[in-house]
Amino acid sequence: MLLETISLVRDLPRLHEISSVLIRYGGGDMVRRLGVGSILERAGRVLHWKQAVENEHLEPAVRFRHALEELGPTFIKLGQVLATRVDLFSPHWIAELEKLQSSAPALPFEDMLPQMLLALEGRDPHAVFDELNTTPRAAASIAQVYEAKLKDGTPVIIKVRRPGIEDKIEADLRIMAHIARLVEAEFPETRRYQPRQVVQQFAKSMRRELDLAAEARNIQRFGEKFADDDTVAIPKVYWDYIGHTMNVQERIDGIPGNKITQATAAGLDLRVLADRGANVVLRMILIHGHFHADPHPGNVFYLPGNRIALVDFGMTGMLTHERRNQIADLLISIISKDELALLDVLLEWTGDSVVNEGKLASDVIEFIFNYSSVHLKDISFGNLLNELMAMIREHHLVMPSDLTLLFKTLITLEGLGRQLDPEFDMGDHTAPFVKEVLRLRYAPEAVMKRGVHSVKDIASILTGLPRDLAKFFKELRRGRVRLDIDVKRLDHFGQQLDRTTNRLTIGIMTASLVIGSSIVMTIQGGPKIFGMPVLGFLGFLIAVFNSLWIVFSIWRSGKS
């Protein structure tokens, strides 16, 4: 608690800024209920509670987006992550959050130079690279991108992290973690959204994105996996110039994914581009289990020969073998009209969430019926996933983060494919990959491997059981068996009890000061002030201040 308080004091200026923005966009009630306003006003920081009036005409989703934009890089990134949570937010909110952009005003090259020197171990970038253009090609909230050439003439881009961004993001993450804990305590209805878990996962994602060397490792992994596919271009990374604050990659100059007219004028076959783009992403998802999680048009380029290039691997997703099998089971259950199999998949995905299985089963049957006469190749993945997410939201279920990222990627991919080819059908491309997943699942070597693992697990349980039982009964005899009970709002109750105890302690000390000072007043001699003994006068003065503090504290908490 002491460390948390010190951290909060350290981040007080940023907390004031965040609270002011929230109030301005209609979040004043939340600031009050979290107690943040009281903390700031006790610190002498004035909050303008009436500023929310100017934004009342905006819809809640629009106000939320504007607030995130004003709060800066960390909160913009949070909004972009929330835009992937199709299981939590309605399409209207998702569409609004998707408008968030990471662009930012460019910093002068001189401000970025220390970051480059750090990655290059003190070497002058102008001596390391040829034709280094000091005007950034792109400026995002976390990094800026410059064009240059290696000494052998290879065109490259240099991605450099903005100076000071790490400290500000870390402060924001600390405040987010604190707010998430308060939100769960004060707003019980938000617990199903798991705000603390969302913030924890977001913090991990942000720290990975800050490490530009991690992005370079992602690029290299994808390059190795697609080394045998000449229809796909992945930038090459140059490890001699890469550090946490900078990475250097091959520069790919192509037609951006949203420039359909340019692609047509260049003689490219749009249908082939759509097919190849879908195959690339589906191969990442269902075969590799590691996928580009942000394949929007800005990160896709079209190259001569109808080749597809992917860039910006800062956000990627991982899928285990089990998860890939579950996705295949989902598609198979829809094809075979097996509502029980689909229900099992959904219940497995939603984990410990409380659900009315009877009502969910009824909705699953209706969902299956709607697709019962539709072949896989005719299924619109966007519609299917949106209906599935609507059903999950209706039942207040929360999906694992890797799945929400995956579904968002698939919806984005289908939208991009339909831009290229109005007749693009995601199901037509998915079927072969589903068959491949099933083939790999039931291949003799895979079945044998699972069997060996099962035997090992059973043997481990059986051999360890006597030892575990002996340890349990030994601890039971010693009285060391402990039962942990997780009581909701217990942390909040503890904080309230702590504040009450502090007031009681100061009250007792104040009473002691009054009694002690009264005794001192009866003693003749010693230094005096205003005709009274100094120690007695000081004791009464401190007692007055303590009394005023206690009265003010009780009044502020609404207990008077």
Return the number of other C-beta atoms located less than 10 Å from residue 82's C-beta.
19
Residue 101 CA: distances (Å) to CA of 62, 74, 78, 83, 139 = 14, 12, 11, 12, 11
Catalytic pick among 294, 312, 329, 425: 294
In DSSP terms, 140 is beta-bridged to 103
- The amino acid present at 422, given as its one-letter code, is P
Task: Tell me whether residue 294 is one of the annotated catalytic residues.
Answer: yes
Question: Three-state secondary structure along 499-548?
Answer: HHHHHHHHHHHHHHHHHHHHHHHCCCCCCEECCEEHHHHHHHHHHHHHHH
Using CB atoms within 10 Å of the CB of residue 387, give its burial: 0 to 12 exposed, 13 to 18 middle, 19+ buried. middle
Run of H or E residues at 26? none
Nearest to 323 by CA among 353, 289, 288, 291: 289
Residue 431 is classified by DSSP as H
Q: Residue 480: what residue type?
A: R
Instruction: Give the chain's radius of gyration (CA, Å).
Output: 30
CB 254 within 8 A of CB 141: no
Q: String of b and e for 416-446 (b: at least 16 CB within 10 Å)?
A: bbbebbeebbbbbbbeebbeebeebeeeeee
**Spatial separation of the C-alpha atoms in residues 66 and 64, rounded to whole Å:** 6
Q: Is 94 helix (H, G, I), strand (E, B) or coil?
A: helix
Q: What share of the chain is helix, strand, coil (3-state, %, to 5)?
A: 65, 10, 25
Q: What residues act catalytically? A: 294
